[in-house]
Amino acid sequence: MFDTLSDRLTSVLKNLRGKGRLSEADIDATCREIRIALLEADVALPVVRGFIAHVKERAKGAEVSQALNPAQQVVKIVNEELVGVLGGETRRLNLAKNPPTVIMLAGLQGAGKTTLAGKLARWLRGQGHTPLLVACDLQRPNAVTQLEVVGERAGVPVFAPERGNGVGDPVEVARRGVEQARHAQHDVVVIDTAGRLGVDQEMMRQAADIRDAVRPDETLFVVDAMIGQDAVTTAEAFRDGVGFTGVVLTKLDGDARGGAALSVRQVTGQPILFASNGEKLEDFDVFHPDRMASRILGMGDVLTLIEQAEQVFDARQAEQTAAKIGSGELTLEDFLEQMLAVRRMGPIANLLGMLPGAGQMKDALAQVDERHLDRVQAIIRGMTPAERQDPKMINASRRQRIARGSGVTVSEVNDLVNRFFDARKMMAQMAGRFGL
Ligand code: GDP
C-alpha cells in the first residue's frame, strides 16, 4: 500500500534538495509532479485539486526559515497537508457515558465487516472493555457462524439469533443484543450488519432500521481500500442512506494505490478511526493521520515501532540489559531474550520497513533471512544455562556438542560465539560513549 505514491513523492521532493531558494517555476513544477503522483494513486480529483492549491499557496508564501532549507520547507508543507487530508488529529472512539456503548458496523459485503468485528472486539478487550458481539448479518450464509468463530478467537461472546426458524429479523436481533449486553454488563456492543455486493436500497433500509432501533454511539462505515475510486462513491451512498460517524479502512495490506485512504475523509467529512491490514485478528490498529503521512513520505513510522516495542519489552528488564551492556556483562541468555522479544513484534523485514529511509532499502529488506535467525536461536538453545551465562567456557568440545545438538556446523557455532564477543565489546564501548 502507498508504495508507488511514496516512491514518487520521495523522488519529487528529493529533486528539490540542494537548491538554495525555490523559484515560482520550481514550485509549479514540483506541484505538477505531486499532482500526477496523487492522481496515479487513485486519489479523488477534488481532493487532489484542493491539496495542490494549498501546497502551492503555502510554498510560495513560505516565510524564510532559519531552521529549514527550502526543500525541507516543502516537505514539511506536504507532510502537514497530507496529515490534514487524512483527518488531522487521531480520532478516538466515542464511548457512551451510560454503557453499553453501541457500535454498529455497515458496509458492502466482502468489505471485511465480520473480520473487523472480531478485531475490534479483541482490541476493545485489550483496552480493558468487556465487549459483546451481535450477529445481525442474517443475509449471507455462514455470516453468523463466521462471527462466532472470530468471537471465540478474540475471547469475546457472541449474541446470535436462534437457528432453525428461517431468516430472523436483524432489527429484533440487534435490539435484543443490546438488551443482553445491558443485562450481562457488557460495556460495549459491536453489531455486525448485512452488506450486499453493491449499494442497494433494501440494504440501506435495513441498516437504517437497525440504527433507529439501537441508536448507536458510533456507526462505522467499513470500506475495502482496494476498491479505489469506488470507495468514495460507496461512502457517499452510505453517508446519504444510513449516515456514519467514522470510517474503518480494511485491506491496507493489499497491493492497492491508496487513493481511497486519502480521499474518503475529505469527501465524506467523517474521520478514519481504524485501519485493518491483514486477515489475522491482530492486523488492526488505531488510525493515526500523522503516522500515515510520514509513512507515505518515506519518513518511516517510528512512533508505531516504538509503541510495538513498548508492548513486548519489559521496561525493567530493558534497563537491566542496558546496564549489562554498559559493563560488558551481557550474556547469551540476555541476547536470546532480546532477540525473542524483537521477533515477537513481527517479521524483522516489517520492523525495518517502518524505519525512516526504508523505502530505498526495499531490496535489502527482501533479503532479511528469518531462517538465519532461527539458526542463531537454535544454537543458543543448544547451550547449557551455564554456557549461556558465561560464553567464555564454550571450548572446542562444547562447540562440537552444541553443533550436533542444534543441527548446524561447528563453524556456525564458532561464528556466533566470536561475533557475540565482538558485539559485546563494541556495545560496551558505545554505551561508554553515550554515558549509559
Ligand atoms: P464482510 O462480508 O464485510 O463481513 O467481510 P468479511 O469479514 O467476511 O471479509 C471478506 C474477506 O476479506 C475475508 O476473506 C477476510 O479474510 C478478508 N479480509 C478482511 N479484512 C482484511 C484485511 O485487512 N486484509 C486482507 N488481506 N484481507 C482481509
Q: Report the C-alpha gap between 351 and 345 in whole angstroms.
A: 8
What are the residues facing 353 on neighbouring strands?
none
Percentage above 90 pLDDT, the chain? 46
> Which three cell numbers mark 129?
472493555
Residue positions forming the annotated binding site for GTP = 107-114, 192-196, 250-253
* Model confidence pLDDT, tens digit, residues 2-31: 778 888 888 888 888 777 778 888 899 999
Residue of 138, 196, 279, 281 to mutate, ligand 1, most atoms within 8 A of C-beta = 279
Cα–Cα distances in Å, from 268 out to 65, 105, 113, 231, 242? 35, 17, 19, 11, 13
As a whole number, mean pLDDT of residues 211-223 equals: 96
The residue out of 264, 299, 334 marking a domain boundary is 299
Instruction: Mention every residue, 6+ apart, whose C-beta is less than 8 A from residue 272.
Output: 86, 87, 91, 246, 247, 248, 249, 261, 264, 265, 287, 289
> 322 vs 217, which has greater pLDDT?
217
CATH code for position 381: 1.10.260.30
Residue with cell 563453524: 411
Atom of ligand 1 nearest to the CA of 252: 23
> Considering the entire predicted model, what is its pTM?
0.72
Among 211-220, 254-263, 406-415, 426-435, which range has the highest average pLDDT? 211-220
Using the predicted structure, report yes or no on whether residue 375 has a pLDDT greater than 90.
no
Count CA atoms closer than 13 A to 363's CA, side-chain side.
1
Q: At what angle do helices 113-126 and 143-154 cross, to 10 degrees?
A: 20
Structural domain containing residue 147: 101-299
Number of residues that this document lists for the chain: 436
Q: Which residues contact 207 (CB under 8 A, 6 or more apart)?
A: 104, 106, 193, 194, 241, 242
Residue 253 Cβ inside 6 Å of ligand 1? The answer reads: yes
With contact defined as beta carbons under 8 Å apart, do 238 and 244 qualify? yes
Query: Are both 63 and 123 inside the same structural domain?
Result: no
Q: Output 312 or 119, whichever has higher pLDDT.
A: 119
Please check whether residues 34 and 128 belong to one and the same domain. no
Q: Output the domain CATH number for residue 175.
A: 3.40.50.300
Nearest atom (ligand 1) to Cα of 283: 23
CA of 187: how far to CAs of 49, 131, 247, in Å? Answer: 43, 6, 22
- 94 within domain boundaries: no
**pLDDT tens digits, residue range 404-430?**
998 999 999 999 998 888 888 877 776
Kindly state if the Cβ of 279 falls inside 6 Å of ligand 1.
Answer: yes
Does 196 lie in the same domain as 276? yes
- Give the mean pLDDT of the chain: 85
Helices (H), 86-228: 113-126, 143-154, 170-183, 201-214
Does a structural domain hold residue 96?
Answer: no
- What CATH number is attached to the domain comprising 47? 1.20.120.140
Determine the average pLDDT of the residues in 91-112: 93
Whether the CB of 193 sits within 6 Å of ligand 1: no
> What is the average per-residue pLDDT within 101-123?
95
pLDDT at 217 over 70: yes
For residues 436 and 430, what is the distance between their CA atoms, to the nearest angstrom? Answer: 9
Q: What is the pLDDT of residues 302-361, one digit of tens each?
A: 556 656 666 666 666 767 777 777 777 888 888 888 778 777 777 766 666 666 555 555
In a domain, 91, yes or no: no
Q: Work out which ligand 1 atom sits closest to the CA atom of 222.
A: 3
Distance 279 CA to ligand 1 centre (A): 6
pLDDT value at position 363?
Answer: 64
C-alpha 54 to ligand 1 mean position (Å):
36
Of 273, 299, 325, at which residue does a domain stop? 299
Shared-domain flag, residues 272 and 369: no
Rounded to whole angstroms, what are the CA distances from 276 to 10, 23, 273, 282? 25, 42, 10, 9
Burial class (CB in 10 A: 0-12, 13-18, 19+), 294: buried
Confidence tier at 166 by pLDDT (50, 70, 90): low
115 lines ligand 1 (CB under 6 A): yes
Which position has the higher pLDDT, 219 or 342? 219
Q: Is the CB of 268 under 6 A from ligand 1?
A: no
Q: Which residue has better confidence, 62 or 302?
A: 62
| Whether residue 214 is found in the same domain as residue 195 | yes
Say whether both 227 and 276 belong to one domain: yes
pLDDT of residue 428: 75
In a domain, 92, yes or no: no
Pull the grid cell for residue 15.
529533486
Domain count, the chain: 3
Q: Are residues 253 and 140 in the same domain?
A: yes
Domain-located, residue 288: yes
Residues 414 and 392 in one domain: yes
Is 355 inside a domain boundary? yes
For 106, 123, 198, 221, 383, the CA distances from 239, given in Å and listed in that order, are 10, 26, 15, 9, 61
- On whether both 288 and 313 belong to a single domain, the answer is no
pLDDT reported for residue 4: 82
Same domain as 262, residue 390: no
- Give, for ligand 1, the residue of 105, 108, 115, 234 to mutate: max count of ligand atoms closer than 8 Å to Cβ: 115
166 and 52 within one domain: no
Residue where a domain terminates, one of 241, 265, 299: 299
Orientation angle between helical segments 370-381 and 410-433, nearest 10 degrees: 100
Contacts of the segment 407-415: beta carbons below 8 A, 24+ positions apart: 407/378, 408/375, 408/378, 408/379, 412/375, 412/379, 413/379
Contacts of residue 315, defined as CB under 8 A and 6 or more positions apart, other chains included, come to none
> pLDDT: is 195 or 28 the higher one?
28
Q: What would the mean pLDDT of 272-293 be, rounded to a whole number?
A: 91
Does 101 sit in the ligand 1 pocket, CB within 6 Å?
no
Pairing relationship of beta strands 131-136 and 246-250 according to DSSP bridges: unpaired
pLDDT at residue 248 greater than cutoff 70: yes
Is 129 found in the same domain as 68?
no
Concatenate the DSSP letters of all residues of 296-352 into one string: HTT---HHHHHHHHHHHS-HHHHHHHHHHHHHT---HHHHHHHHHHHHHTS-HHHHH
Distance CA 414, CA 369 (A): 20
